[in-house]
Structure 1
Amino acid sequence: MVAFHASALDGVARNSALPTPLLLRLLAFEGDGDRPPRDALQRAGLPELAVVAILAHPNPSARIDFAMSARAEPAQRARLADDPSPKVRAALAYGPEVYDPRTKVAPLPDAVCVRLLDDPVPSVRTALLDSPHLAPSFVASMATHHSSAARREAVRAWEILPPGERSALLADPDPEVRRAAAQWECRRDARVTSELLRDPKSAAEALRRGLLVRADAERGVAERTHLVALAENPSLPADLVERLAVDPDEAVRLAVSLRPELDETRRMAIDFTVEAFDRGDVEWVRDGLADPEVLRRAAASVHPMLRRAAAQSPHLPPDLVRLLARTEDPLVEDLLSVHHPDTPEEVLMRVYARLGGTFSAWMAETHPRFPREGLAARYADHPDGNYRRLVVRDPAATPALIERLSHDPAVWTRQAAAGDPRLPLHRLREALHVPELASSAGANPALPEDEMVAVLDRAVVPA
């Protein structure tokens, strides 16, 4: 198979106008023992005939791709729970890899997770326990499971577990389960904190989050072993907070500066340094990304890391979005553009100009507020191809302009034009045979069905 034919085939596989008969033909494709194109397997809204074809595909890799599709319904993917291949079942158990923080993956039904948790193959069970997509109800249900690994994961649902199950986990026969449970219970029980401090594996976590008695807090300051962790502890006595605020270790002072109880005057009196690319992973803000009061305190702070932490919330009210958009912190702008659907257009354009490349292309294609009108007039003759490719977003761009851009010196601009349905048909047919444009042309929704058929024929996809 010639390389550009394969590229065109990948484009056709993700074409939103692909007729169902051609989709089914693609899904039956095995090539030389190969699987169908991943974009065909992971399309949104697959018809039932297509799902049946995937579930019965002889190549396990095809079923793995479907098992890890973020666009498939959980009930559709769940039908792979009895797949003969452990690799397929493990892929199903772990679920989709998600790179866009705005993408939410619905969990598999609890009953299916129960079956996967008792799968005879260890890799399947491990994949399920490692999955980031489990429903809280299922995580909590593992507290009484016969597997110690499952009980250890159940502590993640500590706040919703009944008191009796918490007590059972704290007294579990497995030491790792007991330790995991104690690391949650120590937040409300100073006795448990003291016990964890005697365990080198647990000391740092206990100092960071555990309820401390005075003696344990003073000992932690004196020993300095996990001083940054201790500086974050919510129960650290105020006088010890003041002592750590002038500690010679800069990392300790920075940790103190992020404490939630400080007012802004006291916070900014601390000598700390924030790195230009420190995203602001502040636990009390991260845990409160949907809490209006937490967001307001963090977004209105003069501390860069708190503003950056707040910018990662999709729940910011309009006034806080506007406030953060005026901070003149490039990282705040970057984080807003990724996480918030109402990021102002001027911020999106600054991020686009600053970052360029793949990220800017992704943002322009996916962000709901990224501008459209007026781009053709502004950028059709821009010296930077990164801007010229924005022209295809403008509803006012003419077919002649799109065709001109399909010959642009910048490959990304040519590709954007090749995928635009306004591209004249004669040029669209030409683009199918240009290696770097074939994939974009194949995905063009204006591509006639007979051309799609021709692409499948050239790729030797059986009828």
Structure 2
Amino acid sequence: MLCREVYQGGCDRPIEGPGWLHPEHWPVLPDDRPILPSLRHDVPDHLIRTLVRSPEPYVRRAVITAPQTADDVVDALLDDPREDVRTTALHTTRSADTLRSAAGDPRLRFAVACNPHCPPDVLERLSRDNDPDVRNRVVINPATPDHLIDAATRDRHLFVRWWALRQTRNARIIDRAARSSDPDEREWVASNPHCSPETLLVLAADPDWQVRRKVASNENCPGDLRARLIGEPIGAHRPARYPSPTPSQRAGALVERFVWPLILRLWPERDRD
């Protein structure tokens, strides 16, 4: 069996047990983290149940994130000896009982809050967690009920409030933030995918160039408006709060426009169900 017959982006060399992996094939990021292998979507169940016994943790994590992996295989890895594998399984499991139990452990709450199958009652409990990182993950979780996201727009932590403004579907909250005197609130709501074209038109006239940049990258932005905004030089008519666009801000604009959409397309399907 060839590596490319098992892994997306695999090579033409054969692989076999017990490892089922060529570790040197997967490139390493600047911080020494390898790019993780992902299983092909046509890998059959019997092979997945063989791969899960691999001593390579990257193989076991690839098994967890594959959309066709059976729930019992994922749940079995909740007891894996490796913490990173256990955490990946907790991110992915569909077991409501497991998630409710893990939500009581401060060390596991973040992983539970990331799980897109997390029950609403658990998300509601975690939305009141003392850790703002946990509350922020609740806001980002696609399973979170709208009323919890709306409540988070009043969170005591600034970053949680900003993400809630980006996620809320509440037209009244969106409109209020779009007319806020706080440029940060206008910037975050300008990237909200539930922002109406009418509200985006208001934000497109914002004196802050970063707000206008977010409008241009919003998927709901009308094509003619996007073309006009993209034609503006970066930093045009910028306000005093940003005296000059830094190289990192310029890079951020490129990442948001091109790299982040690519990441969303490549995100494991299991995590987006």
Scaled by the length of structure 1, the TM-score of the pair is: 0.35
- Equivalent AA in structure 2 for residue 117 of structure 1: V
Equivalent in the alignment of 2:167: 233
Instruction: Give yes or no for the alignment of 1:126 onto 2:58.
Output: yes
Matched, 1:170 2:100: yes
Corresponding pairs, count: 210
Conserved 8 A contact 1:231-1:256: yes
Native 8 Å contact 2:64 2:88 kept in 1: no
Deviation at 1:136, TM superposition (A): 0.8
Identify the match of residue 245 of structure 1 among 164, 178, 182.
178
Q: Which residue of 2 aligns with 1:224?
A: 158
* 1:218 Cα deviation from its structure 2 partner: 5.6
Match of 2:17 in 1: 81
Unaligned runs of 5+ residues in structure 1 are: 1-50, 56-63, 97-103, 286-297, 309-330, 340-463
- 8 Å CA contact 2:174–2:189 kept in 1: the answer is yes
Classify the secondary structure of the residue corresponding to 2:213.
Answer: coil
2:37 is matched with which residue: 88, 95, 115? 95
2:136 is matched with 204
In the alignment, structure 1 residue 304 sits paired with structure 2 residue 226:
yes
Q: Is the 8 A contact 1:228 1:255 kept in 2?
A: yes
Q: How does 1:83-162 map to 2 (within 5 A)?
A: 88=22, 94-95=36-37, 105-106=40-41, 108-120=43-55, 124-129=56-61, 131=62, 134-138=65-69, 140=71, 141-145=73-77, 146-147=79-80, 149-154=84-89, 157=92, 161=94
Q: Paired residue for 1:266, among 183, 191, 199?
A: 199
Cα offset for 1:168?
A: 2.0
Question: Does structure 1 retain, via aligned residues, the 8 Å contact 2:4–2:10?
Answer: no
Q: Tell whether the 8 Å contact from 2:127 to 2:135 is kept in structure 1 after alignment.
A: yes
Q: Distance in 2 between matches of 1:208 and 1:201?
A: 11
Tell me how far apart the structure 2 counterparts of residues 231 and 127 of structure 1 sit (CA, whole Å): 37
Q: Is the 8 A contact 1:196 1:203 kept in 2?
A: yes
**Compared CA separation, residues 183 and 214, structure 1 to 2 (3 A):** closer
Q: Which has the higher contact order (CA 8 A, sep 6+)?
A: 1
Change (3 A) 1:246 1:219: same
CA offset digits 1:339-370 (Å, max 9, x no partner) = 9xxxxxxxxxxxxxxxxxxxxxxxxxxxxxxx
Aligned match of 2:123: 192
Cα 1:110–1:153, aligned 2, differ >3 Å: closer, same or farther?
farther
Q: Distance in 2 between matches of 1:249 and 1:132?
A: 45
Alpha-carbon separation, structure 2, partners of 1:137 and 1:67: 13
- Contact 1:274/1:304, CA 8 A, preserved across alignment: no
The root-mean-square deviation of aligned C-alpha atoms, in Å, is: 4.9
Query: 2 CA distance for matches of 1:183 and 1:191?
Result: 12
2:4–2:11 CA contact under 8 A, matched in 1? no
Which is higher, the Rg of structure 1 or of structure 2? Answer: 1
CA contact (8 A) 1:245 1:253 kept: yes
Change (3 A) 1:174 1:226: closer
Distance 1:175 1:114 in 2: 31
1:194: Cα distance to partner?
Answer: 4.5
Letter in 1 for 2:53: D
Q: Are the structure 2 counterparts of residues 273 and 259 from structure 1 closer, same or farther at C-alpha, using a change threshold of 3 Å?
A: same
Q: 1:111 to 1:193 in 2, by over 3 A?
A: same
State the 1:134 CA deviation: 4.8
Residue 229 of structure 1 deviates from its aligned partner by 0.5
- In the alignment, is the contact (CA less than 8 A) between 2:92 and 2:115 conserved in 1? no
| 1:351 matched residue in structure 2 | none
User: Quick one: structure 1 residues 263 and 244, their matched pair in 2 at CA, closer, same or farther if it must change by over 3 Å?
Assistant: closer
Superposed displacement of residue 232, structure 1:
1.5
Distance in 1, matches of 2:57 and 2:70, equals 13
Is contact 2:179-2:186 (8 Å) kept? Answer: yes
Contact 1:142 1:151 in 2 (8 A): no
The percentage of aligned residue pairs carrying the same residue is: 13
Q: In structure 1, give the amino acid aligned to 2:212.
A: T
**Matched-pair contact (CA < 8 Å) for 2:149–2:167:** no
Give the one of 9, 12, 18 matched to 1:70: 9
Q: 1:184 to 1:232 in 2, by over 3 A?
A: farther
- Name the SS of the counterpart of 2:75 in structure 1: helix
Taking a change above 3 Å as real, the CA distance of residues 66 and 238 of structure 1, as seen in their structure-2 partners, is closer
Would you say 1:256 and 2:189 are equivalent positions? Answer: yes
Q: Report the TM-score when normalising by structure 2.
A: 0.53
